[in-house]
Amino acid sequence: MLLFPLWAYAQTTQKPNPAPPPTKSQTLAKADQPTLGFNHIKDVSPVADTDAYLEEQRLQKELPGNQFTKDKRALHEAVLVHDFLEGVRDSKECRGITFYMNTDKVPDFAVQITVDFHDTPKHEQEWVWMLSNTRRKELGGLGTQSSAKLTARDVCLTVWEDVDPNHFKKPGGKIE
């Protein structure tokens, strides 16, 4: 939750795209293969672990100058990214969607995820996701789930709902 205001600010301060946004028919023309990727913000993980972030802040106060205080969060966030991508690979709702890992391709939709209570015993994880439509430069969806797999499913369903609510899910979604 702490990183969403930063994400929203970054969305409003990014340089405007010189090309006009596509029309609804142009967007639907791509309905056969929508693309999805992570929202790339400088120095912000696309899947942020708030528990590890709060612990990192505490450790930086207790151990100023220690170069290892950020390692745990980086490792946890890498695992969370992996878990989400496994959800994309395994979810039938993600079939027909290409997930871009590289930053050199601009996807149709970008997702930013914050995971709360990942390291809190006896507490259910909370995956809060925000999807932006990068072509129209607007919010594409927002939701909360209890796991990476369910988050991937919901994100992909939201992409399909935006592209074509009556779509026929095609096999072969992939991660590039």
Q: Does the pLDDT of residue 6 top 60, yes or no?
A: no
Q: What is the CATH number of the domain that holds 148?
A: 3.40.50
Task: Show the domain range for 86.
Answer: 33-166
Higher pLDDT, 40 or 158: 158
The reported pLDDT for the residue numbered 28 is 42
Per cent of the chain over pLDDT 90 is 45
pLDDT band at 118 (very low <50, low <70, confident <90, very high): confident
How large is the average pLDDT for residues 78-91? 95
Q: Is residue 54 part of a domain?
A: yes
Residue 7 lies in a domain: no
95 in Cβ contact with 115 (< 8 Å): no
pTM (two decimals)? 0.75
Q: Which of 69, 106, 113 minimizes the C-alpha distance to 88?
A: 113
Q: 22 lies in a domain?
A: no
Q: How confident is the model at residue 9 (pLDDT cuts 50, 70, 90)?
A: very low
Alpha-carbon distance of 129 to 176, in angstroms, equals: 21
The encoded tokens of residue 48 equal 């942020």
| pLDDT recorded at residue 25 | 40
Higher pLDDT, 127 or 27: 127
Whether 3 is in a domain gets the answer no
Residue 80 domain-assigned?
Answer: yes
Asked if residue 113 has pLDDT above 60, the reply is yes
Q: Tell me if 150 is assigned to some domain.
A: yes
- pLDDT single digits (tens) 136-150: 999 999 999 999 999
Total domains in the chain come to 1
pLDDT class for 14, splitting at 50, 70, 90?
low
DSSP letter string, the chain: -TTHHHHHHHHHHSPPPSSPPPPHHHHHHTTTS-EEEE--BTTB-SEEEHHHHHHHHHHHHHSTT-TTTTHHHHHHHHHHHHHHHHHHHH-GGGTT-EEE-STTS--SEEEEEEEESTT-TTS--EEEEEEEETTTTEEEEEEEESSHHHHHHHHHHHHHHHH-TT--PPS--EE-
